[in-house]
Amino acid sequence: MAGAVIAAMALTLLMPDDLRLGPRWLFPFVEGLLLVTLIAGDPGRISRRSAALRAVSIALVGVLAIGAAWSTVRLVDDLVHGGTETNSAAGLLQAGGVVWASTILAFSLMYFELDGGGAAARAHHMPATPELAFPQQLNADVNATRWRPRYIDYLYLGLTNSTAFSPTDVMPLAPWAKIAMAVQSLISLLILGLVIARAVNVFA
């Protein structure tokens, strides 16, 4: 999870100025500060249940989501109306790839934080009815009674949902999960569809 936040901070630094909300240093600084607070409050495994730490974790996810949403809106505007980043092949691929990857990280961290009450709650006990149902929870033959989803499982969910535009192996059962996965699919379809369409014009 910490690695994903650091990757998101790096992507923000790589993002063109027109697609970034605020100065180049602002979002990485805020994200880094929140991440350090989380690590200091619960070093090692994420298993300490605390209302304050959960609030910091949700704030971190919120900052990442706001940054990704802003960049997506700006990218779509540039693709539709033409912008400096989208008029060249290299700039188009870099801008589209960075924004797309940022949305994957933001949504994967959202799933990680919201599913089952958060990582700390899942470390103590899994809910009787899952909100995001993984194959290990649906298939009795796997016999994974002690299994707990880790961040890599949510990253895989975010990646496959952004490429297949639909659930693959993880089923959304809770309303919030269905809405979040639907929104992510639509955003990814919009980004990839417009980038491909623009790329055809640029390379033609």
C-alpha 45 chain-centroid distance = 21
> CA 46, CA 112: separation in Å to the nearest integer?
11
> Cα Rg for the chain, rounded, in angstroms?
18
Write down the mean pLDDT value for the chain. 84
Token readout for 109 is 């961290």
pLDDT of 145 above 70 = no
pLDDT digits (tens, 9 = 90+) for 166-185: 888 899 999 999 999 999 99
Task: pLDDT band for 13, please (50, 70, 90 cuts).
Answer: confident
> CA 202, CA 204: separation in Å to the nearest integer?
6
pLDDT digits (tens, 9 = 90+) for 41-76: 776 666 566 778 888 889 999 999 999 999 888 888
Confidence (pLDDT) at 188: 92
Task: pLDDT band for 147, please (50, 70, 90 cuts).
Answer: confident
Token readout for 107 is 């949504």
Angle at the Cα of 59 from the Cα atoms of 58 and 63, rounded to 5 degrees: 120
pLDDT digits (tens, 9 = 90+) for 38-49: 888 776 666 566
pLDDT digits (tens, 9 = 90+) for 14-23: 888 888 887 8
Confidence (pLDDT) at 152: 93
